[in-house]
Amino acid sequence: MEDQEVYETFLQDNGIASKVAPVTVLCALDRLFDATGVAEVKVGAKTLTLPIQAVDLEHVEALCRPFRPKVPTKRDMIAGQWKTIIDEANEGYRDKLTEYNMLYAHTTACFGLAVDILNARREVVWSADNSVHDVQQAVKALKDMGLVLNQVVSLNRAINELTALVQDQQLQD
């Protein structure tokens, strides 16, 4: 029996109805294992459909880490001893944390969008394959385009759902 016949028998025996040709070559340029989809974003009365891809959240975290604000501390006398405690109620810190969270959300969207993002000079500040990424310039470009928080949330919801599907599939395999 030829390999193709064995393969087709395997597909039929396992309840796979569609005929799929076996993969004979893997090439890095094919991006065969990328998990992709689309996200719909409301823009006025229109709906814009954007291609998205699953995101490695470790990469998002690594790129955002330099922008994360340091938690302030203060010294207080507690039970007769001076102690250093974290001051999460510090207003300046809370403002910086809000800015960081916005940057993180925009960065996640940039990673998940399967399109190049260009600045006003038409330079790529974030590439679809995530090989080029200038966090601050990409966020500025998105804001200059008029992207608002509700749209970022919609994008990130779709990106996170796609990423979760991929992770669940990997856990099952």
First to last CA, the chain: 29
Residue 37: the pLDDT is: 83
Q: Is the confidence at residue 1, as pLDDT, over 50?
A: no
Q: Which residues make Cβ contacts (< 8 Å) with residue 136, sequence separation at least 6?
A: none
Render pLDDT for 137-155 as a digit per residue (tens, 0 to 9): 999 999 999 999 999 999 9
**Which two structure tokens, joined as six digits, stand for 161?**
């759902």
**Which two structure tokens, joined as six digits, stand for 9?**
């028998």
Q: Which residues make Cβ contacts (< 8 Å) with residue 165, sequence separation at least 6?
A: 35, 54
Render pLDDT for 121-135 as a digit per residue (tens, 0 to 9): 999 999 999 899 999
Render pLDDT for 28-62 as a digit per residue (tens, 0 to 9): 666 555 678 888 898 888 998 999 999 988 999 99
Q: What angle do CA 65, 114, 27 make, to 5 degrees?
A: 100
Nearest Cα to 139, choosing from 162, 108, 163, 114? 108
Residue 165: the pLDDT is: 86
Which amino acid makes up residue 59?
Answer: H
Render pLDDT for 89-106 as a digit per residue (tens, 0 to 9): 889 999 999 999 999 999
Strand ranges inside 44-161, DSSP E? 46-53, 73-78, 81-86, 117-118, 124-126
Can you tell me the distance from the alpha carbon of 38 to that of 158, in angstroms, rounded to the nearest whole number? 8
